[in-house]
Structure 1
Amino acid sequence: MAAFFNKRNIVVGFILLAVIFPFITRNDYFLHVMTLAFIWMIAVYGLNLLAGYTGYLSLAHAGFFAIGAYAFGLLTVKAGFGFWPAFLLAPIITTAMGFLIGLIALRTKEHFFAIYTLCVGYIIYLVIDKWEGLTGGVRGLIGIPAPSSIGPLTLSTPIAQYYFVFVILLLVIFVIYRIIHSLTGRTFIAIRNSEELALSLGISTTKNKLISFVLSTFFAGIAGVLYACFIRFIGPDIGNLNITFDLLTYMIVGGIGTMSGPIVGTLLIVWLSQNLQFLQDYRMLIFGPLLTLMVIFSPRGISGLFALWSAKRTRKLKPKTSNVEEQA
């Protein structure tokens, strides 16, 4: 039973469920919610790479999500770019902005870094909200194009868009997995565990923190682009601090620093929110204490709790196994 809840089985189970989900439900609204959940997962994976594996909490993540969405919207609506050129260019613009901001932000550490990125995120929100000539201000951007066809494949139906976002999510999970299990990923973890020790081992912490920060903004940009072309209307609210809070909730509840955490946390909170829409005005009062309890009693979230339970169960079974072998 314990082995069933390991991170590989959770991810594989999620993939199988996601593939058959459109055949289980014929409700377009459920497909809409699930597609949005996939987009949030991509953003959470980016945040988790920086906060969970490198140990630096960025509170500007929603700002970079908004930059990706607005970059795509402005390129298609105002600059006249086609869907696919804008789709490729918008995350690059987000990454470039992340690189420039990261050069300054990563001169700070720990809570100073979080405070600095909080200010950066709010500045991004203000720029989007007040620069009406460029972003449309509170009116937002309307008429963002939906995904265009890829040869004979059309992406105009809800099911096609669902699988389109799902495939990109799988690519993101694969890339994140490869990064975490590479030398670079081990370096991120070393910085998280002890930056001073990493420095003493000759690791360039500044360079590796910048790489992690830039990769995090890249995935936020991808999520923003997908959100823009899926919803087809964006406003300044997508860069609000509430979005960062939501992403943090998904990550911490699911399991910070785990591969399956973004999936578990996002699915749980998104569908819980859908079933508690009548309490939408009190969501902060509900999820705030939930987040606090998770941080106190299960710092690594639901995935980490299952991993801890599995490890304890394995340790209890080992003495029994050894005793049986000795008697034999």
Structure 2
Amino acid sequence: MASIFKQRNMIAFFILFAIVFPFITNNNYMIHVMTLAFIWMIAVYGLNLLAGYTGYLSLAHAGFFAIGAYSLSLLTTKAGMSYWLAFVLALIITSLLGLVIGLISLRTKEHFFAIYTLCVGYIIYLIIDKWDSLTGGIRGLIGIPGPANIGPITFNTPISNYYLVLFFLLLTVLVMYRIVHSLTGRTFIAIRNSEDLAQTIGISTMTNKLLVFVISTFFAGLAGALYASFIRFIGPDIGYINVTFDILTYLIVGGIGTLSGPVVGTIIIVWVSQQLQFLQDYRMMIFGPILTLLVIFYPRGISGGIQDWNMKRKEKKRQEKQNIDKNQQMLSAQETSAAANKNG
């Protein structure tokens, strides 16, 4: 039974469920909600790599999400570029800005880094909100084109958009899996565990932190670009700090520093939020205490809690086996001793 809850099995089950989901339901609204959940998962994976595996909490994640969304929107609506060219350029622009901001922000550590990125995220929001001639200000941008056709493949229906976003999500999961289980991923974990110790064994911590920061912003930009082309309208609110806290909530609930955490947390929160829509602003009165209890009793989230339970279960079985072996050895020694005394 416990093997069912292994991270690999949980992700495999999710992939299978996601592929067949449109065949289970004919409700376009549910497909719309699931597509949005996939987009948020991509953003959560970006934050998870930085905060969960390197130990640096960036509170500017929504800002980079907005940069990806606005870059795609401006390049297509105002510059007249083709969709896929604008899509690629949006990711490049987000990553380059992440590189510049990372060079400065990563000179700080711990809560200073979080505070600095919080300020950066708010500045990005203010630029989007106040630069009316470029971004449309509070009115936002409308008429954003959807994904362009790729040969015979079209993206004119909710289901086709669903599978397009799912493709990018699966690609994100694959990239994250390869990074985490590579030497680079172990380097990130070493920095998280002890940055000073990592430096003493020859790890270039600044280079690796900058690398993971740029990767994190890349996936935030990817999620933002997909969001803009899916919703077809964006406003400055997508770069506000509450979006970062929403993404962080998905990560904490699912399990920070785990591969399945972004999937688990996002699915649970998004669908529970949909069921509690009738409560409107009172939803946080329910989420608040639940999140507090989760942080207290399961600080590693749902996926992390399941991992800890599996480890304790394996350790208990190992100890029981050792005790059985020890008892068998004692019985064998007693029988040998009794036999020797009898022969003597």
TM category (shorter chain) comes to: over 0.9
Alpha-carbon distance, 1:184 to partner: 1.0
Alpha-carbon separation, structure 2, partners of 1:204 and 1:319: 40
Q: 2:166 matched to which residue of 1?
A: 166
Q: For structure 2, list consecutive stretches of 5 or more residues without a partner in the other structure.
A: 330-344
Q: 1:29 matched to which residue of 2?
A: 29
Alpha-carbon distance, 1:195 to partner: 0.5
**Is 1:192 matched up with 2:195?**
no
- Give matches, 1:244-263, under 5 Å: 244-263=244-263
Alpha-carbon separation, structure 1, partners of 2:284 and 2:211: 33
Alpha-carbon distance, 1:193 to partner: 0.2
- Give matches, 1:108-187, under 5 Å: 108-187=108-187
Q: 1:237 matched to which residue of 2?
A: 237
Alpha-carbon distance, 1:295 to partner: 2.1
Task: Give secondary structure in 1 for the equivalent of 2:190.
Answer: helix
Alpha-carbon distance, 1:323 to partner: 5.5
Alpha-carbon separation, structure 2, partners of 1:219 and 1:25: 29
Alpha-carbon separation, structure 1, partners of 2:284 and 2:136: 29
TM-score, length of structure 2 as denominator length = 0.93
- Give matches, 1:33-72, under 5 Å: 33-72=33-72
**Is 1:98 matched up with 2:95?**
no
Task: Give secondary structure in 1 for the equivalent of 2:71.
Answer: helix
Alpha-carbon separation, structure 1, partners of 2:214 and 2:190: 18
Alpha-carbon distance, 1:183 to partner: 1.2
**What amino acid sits opposite 1:9 in the alignment?**
N
Task: Give secondary structure in 2 for the equivalent of 1:315.
Answer: helix
Alpha-carbon distance, 1:327 to partner: 4.7
Alpha-carbon distance, 1:2 to partner: 1.0
**What amino acid sits opposite 2:190 in the alignment?**
A
Alpha-carbon separation, structure 2, partners of 1:215 and 1:292: 30
Q: 1:203 matched to which residue of 2?
A: 203
Q: 2:74 matched to which residue of 1?
A: 74
**What amino acid sits opposite 2:184 in the alignment?**
T
Task: Give secondary structure in 1 for the equivalent of 2:26.
Answer: coil
Q: For structure 1, list consecutive stretches of 5 or more residues without a partner in the other structure.
A: none
Alpha-carbon separation, structure 2, partners of 1:251 and 1:146: 28
**What amino acid sits opposite 1:10 in the alignment?**
M
**What amino acid sits opposite 1:31 in the alignment?**
I
Alpha-carbon separation, structure 2, partners of 1:199 and 1:289: 40
Alpha-carbon distance, 1:322 to partner: 4.7
**What amino acid sits opposite 1:74 in the alignment?**
L
Alpha-carbon distance, 1:288 to partner: 3.0
Deviates more, 1:304-313 or 1:288-297: 288-297
Alpha-carbon separation, structure 1, partners of 2:201 and 2:290: 39
Aligned residues: 328
Alpha-carbon distance, 1:313 to partner: 1.3
TM-score, length of structure 1 as denominator length = 0.97
Alpha-carbon separation, structure 2, partners of 1:264 and 1:313: 22
